[in-house]
Amino acid sequence: MTTSNKQSTPVTPTAEGRGAEWIAILRQYWGYDSFRGIQLDIINSIASGHDTLGLMPTGGGKSITFQVPTMAMEGLCLVVTPLIALMKDQVQNLRQRGIMAAAIYSGQTRSEVVQHLDNAIFGAYKFLYVSPERLSTEIFMNKVRRMKVCLITVDEAHCISQWGYDFRPHYLRIAEVRKLLPGVPVLALTATATRMVVDDIQQKLAFVDGQVYKMSFARPNLHYIVRPTGDKFAELLHILQCVDGSAIVYTRSRNGTREVADKLNEAGITALHYHAGLTSLDKDTRQQAWQRDQVRVMVATNAFGMGIDKPDVRLVVHMDVPDSLEAYFQEAGRGGRDGQVAYGVLLTDGEDAKRLSMHLTQAFPDRTYIRRVYADLASFFQIAEGEAEGRTFDFNMERFCHVFKHFPVLLVSALNLLTQAGYIHFSLEDENSSRVIFLVRRDELYGIDYLNSAEERVLNIIMRNTCGIFADYVPVDEERLAEKCDMTREQVYNHLRHLTQLRVLNYVPHKDTPQITYTCRRIDADQVQIMPDIYELRRDQYRTRIDAMIRYFTETDMCRSRFLLHYFDDDGPDCGYCDVCIAREEETASMPQSQQVDEAAHHVMTVVEAGRTYPLAYFKESGFAHGVLLQALARLQHEGKITFDGVNIAVG
């Protein structure tokens, strides 16, 4: 296994070899003149046929690592990802660049899925995005063996590991897909993975001669702060008044996003709220307003962030503590992508540790309750035993809870566990944007003479602004279409429905409701098995992550940045800017010099590891004056604990 730790500095390959070819593709389709960080290392590894794992923090440019080499290879790239919104966004972006791509995910009709798969077999796409639950279907397994696949990309690869924070059982089917595509290399990508997860990913994906490339997780320009307070909103307001620039404020609940945004606006700070329950139009409008600096603050749940690439975010504040350091690291990491100073602030009060501990009980209701939910679903949808495999149902959660006396939080946890166990697929967030496909050929369209002028205008606008619509379903936004056609949304909707009745096109309207898909035949609830690897193992791992999160915001003896780096098996010096480092520096400054030397010596011996060499600069942000640090090093060398040549410190 090869491991590479490199910083995000531009890399420009020579014209020799394939470097020039990669750069030409990068420039032609994406407009960049050079690769960043480990992108080129990963591309070269893939081109050499190696199974490859890339660990790239949020904003590291993961998509380039599989999109560029695929454009130079014959065949298509199969991309497995659980992020439906990001999947659809990438498909749209690729199509806008003139690259044909499609996505298959839960909620689509069988005819749509078959059409996408057949198009992939006939070479219509360069990229086919597939949600993990679709890997389990018989139709996919039968079709994929007939595709000319040049690369399998597994995004969010930590989902395949039972040691990861977001385990998805359907990811385990990827190894079976590999058997159907012998010789096709696999690229696994993730932004957050511990050493145990890295090893497990390679084992679960059956890596052969695997290569691992890792970017440093260190973000020197991002200053982490933990701020205990009795009034979180007052502290948020104070921070926003002290730190200029664009900001993201994360809250746990949808109602919380609205409440905080309203209070900020009342205080004279422009803010919008964002969560998964908004319409596609609302989400897009608010995101654009924030990205264009028409408003300063976006108050959001964790639904906000995927695909967001605003480089000048100066502040990311968490009003509520996330369940894991993985989630916190990703969300805080959306600040300061331009390399300038930014702040990741976690607000805590005396109840946060207790709240996190309660999440464990809520996330893992007992098995009896889970089986009860499964039985109630069958009654709700009127499904007999042995039926419903592959069927998708709109799920009115409010009515379900009222009829069967369920609490929403426990219900969602039970549905997620049933999803992980493979019985259903539950989608809480909107995954189903409106989409259309033409049912007639382009030359036939011009011969149709029974359409009115309004319908012709709708068709012309769709064709003018959408590519590939004669071959595939494409997303359509009724609000934008209405603006371009100078109509109301209702008029556009009615015209599209009429055109569907005329068999000119097929229009599948957007749905706001959650959905339940039965991934296997309905069985008796008593036969439902939630195995230990789904329940006890996941519960214990969840407890471990919660404990690490609690230690992060309660302990004050380790630099916040170093704490995060250590969690991800990375290393780095004290940052010098977090609340722990600042407090230590203030405390050190008030000590007598002899005591400062003692503290500096203790700090050095706490940080260093035997068998390693450290440059003096490694300790420059430790909070100790340069002269004090030199005295401490001299003493440690005299005691035989280290060797120091004025530049480097060695231990053992």
- pLDDT per residue as tens digits for the range 346-385: 999 989 999 998 988 899 999 999 999 999 999 999 999 9
Q: CATH number for 2-215: choose from 3.40.50.300, 3.30.70.890, 3.30.70.1560, 3.40.50.720.
A: 3.40.50.300
Task: Please write the tens of the pLDDT for every residue from 608-633.
Answer: 787 788 888 787 766 677 778 888 88
Give the pairing of strands 435-438 and 505-508.
antiparallel
For residues 360 and 539, what is the distance between their CA atoms, to the nearest angstrom?
7
Q: State which H helix or E strand residue 343 sits in.
A: strand 342-348
295, two tokens = 């408003």
Is residue 475 pLDDT above 80, yes or no? no
* Predicted local distance difference test score (pLDDT) of residue 378: 96
289-308 confidence digits (pLDDT tens): 999 999 999 999 988 876 57
Is pLDDT of 10 > 50?
no
Q: Residue 593's pLDDT is what?
A: 78
Q: Give the pLDDT confidence score for residue 463 in this predicted structure.
A: 83
Number of neighbouring beta carbons within 10 Å of residue 310: 17
What's the pLDDT score for residue 643?
86
- The arithmetic mean of pLDDT across residues 510-523, rounded, is 83
Write down the pLDDT at residue 8.
34
Specify the CATH class of 222-353 in words. alpha beta
Query: Helix, strand, or coil here: 156?
Result: coil
Quick check: pTM over 0.75?
no
Within this chain, domains 222-353 and 435-508 share the same CATH topology: no
Q: What is the pLDDT of residue 16?
A: 41
Q: How confident is the model at residue 4 (pLDDT cuts 50, 70, 90)?
A: very low
pLDDT tens-digit readout, 120-137: 999 999 999 998 888 878
Give the residue, 644 or 185, on which the prediction is more confident.
Answer: 185
Between residues 14 and 96, the one the model is more confident about: 96
- 422 compared with 371, residue with greater pLDDT: 371
Cα distance between residue 121 and residue 255, in whole Å: 45
pLDDT of residue 15: 31
pLDDT single digits (tens) 324-349: 998 899 899 999 988 899 999 999 99
Share the mean pLDDT of the chain. 86
Q: What is the mean pLDDT of residues 33-43?
A: 90
pLDDT, one tens digit per residue, over 169-198 is 788 889 999 999 999 999 999 987 888 889
By the 10 Å C-beta count (0-12 exposed, 13-18 middle, 19+ buried), 503 is classed as: exposed
Q: Which CATH class is domain 435-508?
A: mainly alpha
Query: What pLDDT shows up at residue 280?
Result: 65
- Per residue in 229-284, pLDDT tens? 999 999 999 999 999 999 999 999 889 999 999 999 999 999 999 987 777 668 87
Query: Under a CB-based contact definition with an 8 Å cutoff, are residues 343 and 225 in contact?
Result: yes
Write down the domain spans for the chain.
2-215, 222-353, 365-431+513-534, 435-508, 555-650
pLDDT at 5 over 70: no
Instruction: Express each pLDDT in 70-89 by its tens digit.
Output: 999 999 999 999 877 778 88
Helix (H, G, I), strand (E, B) or coil at 360: helix
- Ramachandran sector of residue 534 (left: φ over 0; alpha: ψ -120 to 50; beta: rest): alpha
Alpha-carbon distance of 243 to 249, in angstroms, equals 13
Within 10 A of 253 (CB to CB), how many other CB atoms are there?
12
Say which CATH architecture domain 365-431+513-534 belongs to. Answer: Orthogonal Bundle (1.10)
Measured at the CA of 86, the angle between CA 482 and CA 148, to 5 degrees, comes to: 105
Mean pLDDT for the stretch of residues 497-513: 82
CA-based radius of gyration for the chain: 27
pLDDT tens string 519-577: 899 999 999 999 887 889 889 888 999 999 999 999 998 999 999 999 988 888 888 89
pLDDT (0 to 100) of residue 446: 74
